[in-house]
Amino acid sequence: MTKAVLPESLMPTHWYNLAADFPEPMPPHLHPGTGEPLAPEDMTPLFATGLVEQEFSRERYIEIPEPVRDIYRLWRPSPLARAPRLERALGTSARIYFKNESVSPIGSHKPNTSIAQAYYNRVDGITKLTTETGAGQWGASLAFAGQFFDQEVEVWQVRASYDSKPYRRMLMHVYGATVHPSPSDLTEAGRAMLAKDPDTPGSLGMAVSEAIEVAVGTEGARYSLGSVLNHVMLHQTIIGQEAIRQLEMFGEDAGPDIVIGCAGGGSNLAGLSFPFIGANIRGETAARILAVEPARCPSLTKGEYRYDHGDVAGLTPLLKMHTLGRDFVPDPIHAGGLRYHAMAPMVSHAVETGLMEARSITQEEAFAAGILFARTEGTVPAPESNHAIAAAVAEARRHTGEPGSGPVILIGLSGNGFLDLPAYDQFL
Amino acid sequence: MTKAVLPESLMPTHWYNLAADFPEPMPPHLHPGTGEPLAPEDMTPLFATGLVEQEFSRERYIEIPEPVRDIYRLWRPSPLARAPRLERALGTSARIYFKNESVSPIGSHKPNTSIAQAYYNRVDGITKLTTETGAGQWGASLAFAGQFFDQEVEVWQVRASYDSKPYRRMLMHVYGATVHPSPSDLTEAGRAMLAKDPDTPGSLGMAVSEAIEVAVGTEGARYSLGSVLNHVMLHQTIIGQEAIRQLEMFGEDAGPDIVIGCAGGGSNLAGLSFPFIGANIRGETAARILAVEPARCPSLTKGEYRYDHGDVAGLTPLLKMHTLGRDFVPDPIHAGGLRYHAMAPMVSHAVETGLMEARSITQEEAFAAGILFARTEGTVPAPESNHAIAAAVAEARRHTGEPGSGPVILIGLSGNGFLDLPAYDQFL
């Protein structure tokens, strides 16, 4: 068997909520004005009722609504494959597997949550969603999701990416979304920013402010976020739940020895690893969980664990997380999805309480690993995924016995690199 | 069920050779010098022994070597999905299905033959393959295949595409291939062309000449072709064989009423439709088979059925096919894979003997259909595939009864449009 493909009938019917199983409860989100624990009603102006419930939920399993599963089935369950050619190239005794989220129509894991978010907003009668995007993965995923649930989608894309990375903007247009470079002259925040610096390349923080301003000021509109918050982590857990069943199909009933995911905001890593962390807590498995981030944006490995805002302007709730400070501006590395100043509170809490480890990888290591992966297993990985692959390569190289006799390494392949080829070109 | 996914264990083990079942035998290829029927030994300087055998074979089923199946399993069997949202958008009674070849690591059907060609060349001890490419789909697929079978891959890419469509060139680089703009100063043919016109944008015909010249002049090297020839059609028939089994999984035991594929050189269409044509000939099914080509490159619908060369310079064998003449220069339409002056001899013979129909589609119809498909079923189709989708849309609109009560339409989705987004952008 090369890859384990679950039939649709075995696709998970529930998301898994790690908040139910944390041995120590997570610190609450705090109200930015009062500093008191946030109440659900503080979030409902911006987020759908169903999503706010999930943000605060301690329920272990939350049913995936059938209309969401219906769209998931366009590409899910996603395959989990053994990587025998990569193993041979490394001369490792490890058995390496990868969970392949690159097969979604967008080419990444992001639609797992964009579909759910568009659905819950339609349930509330919302007809328009606004969001920000950097390189465009998240904006494209929300544009894709909006069309299934009658949501007009309006995206503010960081000006520098809008100008230099036109393909994902074009993808958003194909799905019928409106895309503006940010800062724009459509919002007060944007006009103020442009007045200060007409040639600014923009930033995610500024784009967030514009998207929120328009959502708040438009009847029937809300804002949508692609990572960081608890409900986003929740939606991604379908990844790890499928992976558990697929490893069993390979006869790996003891589960993986190590689970490795790349981490920017944290949603891909959480989606892959939280079901395994749950199994660890229940004593069913004893997998090491490894979060891998870029050396140039090292929130988990170099950041402080404290309350901070999710955006530059300080409009979001205060979240307890590993942060480099909301003013931190990362170098323009190629892994656009890993350029965030902080880490999701759930992932941060998992690291802080010893449920997960973290390490960082340089761009050079990451791309070298990605090219090795493409030349052995065929798929060109997203630059973000390359960080997880590089950490797996380093791990596998430590095990040099009889082929197949070593540990089981599971990699999260969060996406493909079709629209990131210029980054590879620059590396080569 | 949204999509039928065959387990790997049910992946076809043999290719299907329609030449065994043609009610009237195909006209033979002719030697370009003598005008006599071509002998296998005439082809072996350029093509692997195993491929030449297949070119002349009348065997009905030819086993797929295990090393080829091993690589196929990286993405095969590919899914076959129902398109219920497209059906609803059209208000049709037809049941529309699509066979999704876009899930390959290259994003199209081309690796089905590049893998086989790289394998048979390695069996012969070959270590280097040369080829030409236009937009880059075929060059990228051969680069992808070469790495699995120790083949150095050298590609001549039409200068205009080399300059204007850098992403697939970058993809070839990731897979370790060498890519030259054509005409180049590396070959006699190229130098002659450049001497005549230093600013020429190049052409596929010129790139073929360069690739052949280098293959012939290099020890241990051969040339590789991505469409047109019989053995290429053969390798693609895994598509249609899978589709037959997958329609049965949907309970469509009577098979499709109409099978629709886009046709440039003909390999995608042949791969999807030949197993159905075989079933038609055996009386098991009564499916209409429809070849769809661009109105601006109408070899099947406007060309002559006669012997012609496959390249501009007249170096290839004479092939009996529908041709616009080897000097025909199509308009620069976006569907780069459909810009060929002629049609594969096997497809031409199928049309000529009434086993298949042909029609043409304008670019505007094609892109409108592709955008409708993306907004209903999620995947952005390759511009080539849009032609098949447009014909299916026109067909489906003629059936307006009770939803689901109409005919079964099967579309070949030959690839995705990730690297063709600028074409969509121009249309929008």
Where residue B262 sits, what CATH number does that domain have?
3.40.50.1100
B325 with B275, same domain: the answer is: yes
Residue B49: exposed, middle, or buried by beta-carbon count in 10 A (0-12, 13-18, 19+)?
middle
Whether the ω angle into residue B183 lies within 30 degrees of 0, i.e. cis, is: yes
The answer to whether position A51 is within a domain reads no
From the list A150, A179, A148, the residue with the least C-alpha distance to A166 is: A179
pLDDT over 70 percentage in chain A = 99
CA atoms of A43 and B318, how far apart (whole Å): 71
Cross-chain residue pair A377–B419, CB shorter than 8 Å: no
Helix (H, G, I), strand (E, B) or coil at A99: strand
Residue A241: is its pLDDT beyond 90? Answer: yes
Q: What is the ipTM of this complex?
A: 0.96
Cross-chain residue pair B421–A167, CB shorter than 8 Å: yes
Banded pLDDT at A294 (limits 50, 70, 90): very high
Phi, psi of B380 (to 5 degrees): -80, 115
Evaluate whether B404 touches B90 at the Cβ level (below 8 Å): no
The answer to whether position B82 is within a domain reads yes
What is the number of other CB atoms lying within 10 angstroms of the CB of residue B198? 8
Helix (H, G, I), strand (E, B) or coil at B221: strand
pLDDT at A315: 77
Q: How many CB pairs under 8 A join A and B?
A: 109
B412 with B284, same domain: the answer is: yes
> Hey, which of A33-47, A414-428, B108-122 has the most confident mean pLDDT?
B108-122
A88 with A153, same domain: the answer is: no
Cross-chain residue pair B107–A421, CB shorter than 8 Å: no
B91 with B140, same domain: the answer is: no
The answer to whether position B379 is within a domain reads yes
From the list A77, A150, A149, A76, the residue with the least C-alpha distance to A116 is: A149
Instruction: Give the pLDDT mean for A254-279.
Output: 97
A259 with A336, same domain: the answer is: yes
User: How close B258 gets to chain A, by Cα (Å)?
Assistant: 23
Cross-chain residue pair A103–B103, CB shorter than 8 Å: yes
* Smallest CA–CA distance from B77 into chain A, residue: A5
Q: Which of A375, A419, A427 to mutate to test the interface with B (most CBs of B within 10 A)?
A: A375
pLDDT at B161: 86
Which residue from B8, B75, B375 is facing A176, i.e. has the nearest CB?
B375
From the list A240, A279, A291, the residue with the least C-alpha distance to A97 is: A240
User: How close A179 gets to chain B, by Cα (Å)?
Assistant: 13
Cβ within 8 Å of residue B117, ≥6 positions away: B48, B51, B129, B142, B145, B224, B235
Of the residues B225, B252, B279, which one is the last residue of a structural domain? B225
* DSSP letter (8 states) at residue B342: B
* DSSP letter (8 states) at residue A420: G
Banded pLDDT at A164 (limits 50, 70, 90): confident
The answer to whether position A45 is within a domain reads no
User: How close A124 gets to chain B, by Cα (Å)?
Assistant: 22
* Smallest CA–CA distance from A371 into chain B, residue: B174
Beta strands in B199-327 (DSSP E): 221-223, 258-262, 288-294, 304-309, 318-323
For residue range A301-325, what is the model confidence (pLDDT) as tens digits? 999 999 999 877 777 899 999 999 8
- Structure-token match 């297949």, residue found: B54
Q: What H or E segment, with its residue span, contains residue B15?
A: strand B14-16
Cβ within 8 Å of residue A179, ≥6 positions away: A139, A155, A156, A157, A162, A169, A172, A173
What separation in angstroms does the CA of A262 have from each of A364, A391, B122?
A: 15, 9, 37
Helix (H, G, I), strand (E, B) or coil at A151: coil
pLDDT at A337: 72
Start-to-end CA distance of chain B, whole Å, equals 33
Cross-chain residue pair B170–A8, CB shorter than 8 Å: no
B182 lies in which domain range?
A: 111-225
A244 with A390, same domain: the answer is: yes
Of the residues B208, B225, B242, which one is the last residue of a structural domain? B225
User: How close A151 gets to chain B, by Cα (Å)?
Assistant: 12
Which residue from A2, A74, A147 is facing B8, i.e. has the nearest CB?
A2
Higher pLDDT, B328 or A382: A382
- Contacting residues of A for B174, CB less than 8 Å apart: 371, 374-375, 380, 421, 424, 428
Phi, psi of B181 (to 5 degrees): -70, 145
What separation in angstroms does the CA of A220 have from each of A9, A43, A397, B323?
A: 36, 16, 54, 57
The answer to whether position B333 is within a domain reads yes
For residue range A46-55, what is the model confidence (pLDDT) as tens digits? 999 999 999 9
Total residue count of chain A as it appears in this document: 428
* Smallest CA–CA distance from B72 into chain A, residue: A2
What separation in angstroms does the CA of A209 have from each of A187, A312, B410?
A: 9, 9, 46
The answer to whether position B40 is within a domain reads no
β-pairing verdict for A80-82 and B221-223? unpaired
CA atoms of A99 and A265, how far apart (whole Å): 19
In Å, the largest CA–CA distance within chain B is 65
The answer to whether position B150 is within a domain reads yes
Cross-chain residue pair B418–A418, CB shorter than 8 Å: yes
- Structure-token match 């002049």, residue found: B217
Which residue from A5, A173, A416 is facing B5, i.e. has the nearest CB?
A5
CA atoms of B184 and B195, how far apart (whole Å): 11
- Contacting residues of B for A88, CB less than 8 Å apart: none
β-pairing verdict for A258-262 and A318-323? unpaired
The edge-to-edge listing of strands for the beta sheet with B3-4 is B3-4, B80-82, B95-100, B408-413, B258-262, B288-294, B357-361
CA atoms of A194 and A206, how far apart (whole Å): 11
For residue range A344-364, what is the model confidence (pLDDT) as tens digits? 999 999 999 999 999 999 999
Evaluate whether A182 touches A205 at the Cβ level (below 8 Å): no
Cβ within 8 Å of residue A389, ≥6 positions away: A366, A369, A370, A372, A373, A381, A411, A413
What separation in angstroms does the CA of A89 have from each of A370, A373, A397?
A: 13, 10, 10
A182 with A286, same domain: the answer is: no
Sign of CA dihedral B68, B71, B77, B79: negative
Residue A5: is its pLDDT beyond 70? Answer: yes
From the list B60, B97, B100, the residue with the least C-alpha distance to B77 is: B100
Cross-chain residue pair A375–B147, CB shorter than 8 Å: yes
Cross-chain residue pair A421–B147, CB shorter than 8 Å: no
B269 with B357, same domain: the answer is: yes
A280 with A295, same domain: the answer is: yes
Q: Interface of chain B against chain A, CB under 8 Å? A: 1-3, 5, 7-8, 70-71, 73-75, 81, 85, 103, 105, 107, 144, 147-148, 166-167, 170-171, 173-176, 371, 374-380, 416, 418-419, 421-422, 424-425, 428
pLDDT at B202: 85
Which residue from B3, B105, B171 is facing A421, i.e. has the nearest CB?
B171
The answer to whether position A263 is within a domain reads yes
Banded pLDDT at A128 (limits 50, 70, 90): very high
Of the residues A183, A198, A225, which one is the last residue of a structural domain? A225
Residue type, A272: L
A125 with A178, same domain: the answer is: yes
Q: How many domains does chain A have?
A: 2
Cross-chain residue pair B170–A419, CB shorter than 8 Å: no
B84 with B98, same domain: the answer is: yes
What separation in angstroms does the CA of A321 have from each of A22, A51, A325, B203?
A: 16, 20, 10, 57
A89 with A174, same domain: the answer is: no
pLDDT at B304: 96
β-pairing verdict for B95-100 and B408-413? parallel
For residue range A170-200, what is the model confidence (pLDDT) as tens digits? 999 999 999 999 999 999 999 998 999 998 8
Cβ within 8 Å of residue B344, ≥6 positions away: B227, B228, B229, B230, B232, B233, B265, B266, B267, B270, B321
Q: Give the pair of three-digit tokens for residue A382.
A: 């997203």
- Contacting residues of B for A378, CB less than 8 Å apart: 71, 74-75, 105, 144
Encode chain B (428 residues) as per-residue pLDDT tens digits: 899 999 999 999 999 999 999 999 999 999 988 999 999 999 999 999 999 999 999 999 999 999 999 999 999 999 999 999 999 999 999 999 999 999 999 999 999 999 999 999 999 999 999 999 988 999 999 999 999 999 999 999 999 889 888 999 999 999 999 999 999 999 998 999 899 999 888 888 789 889 999 999 999 999 999 999 999 999 999 999 999 999 999 999 999 999 999 999 999 999 999 999 999 999 999 999 999 999 988 999 999 999 999 877 777 899 999 999 887 777 766 667 777 889 999 999 999 999 999 999 999 999 999 999 999 999 999 999 999 999 999 999 999 999 999 999 999 999 999 999 999 999 99
Banded pLDDT at A333 (limits 50, 70, 90): low
Q: Is A405 left (phi over 0), alpha (psi -120 to 50) or beta?
A: alpha
Sign of CA dihedral B378, B382, B386, B392: negative
CA atoms of A243 and A252, how far apart (whole Å): 11
For residue range A129-152, what is the model confidence (pLDDT) as tens digits? 999 998 899 999 999 999 999 999
> Would you tell me the crossing angle of helices B238-249 and B267-281 to the nearest 10 degrees?
60
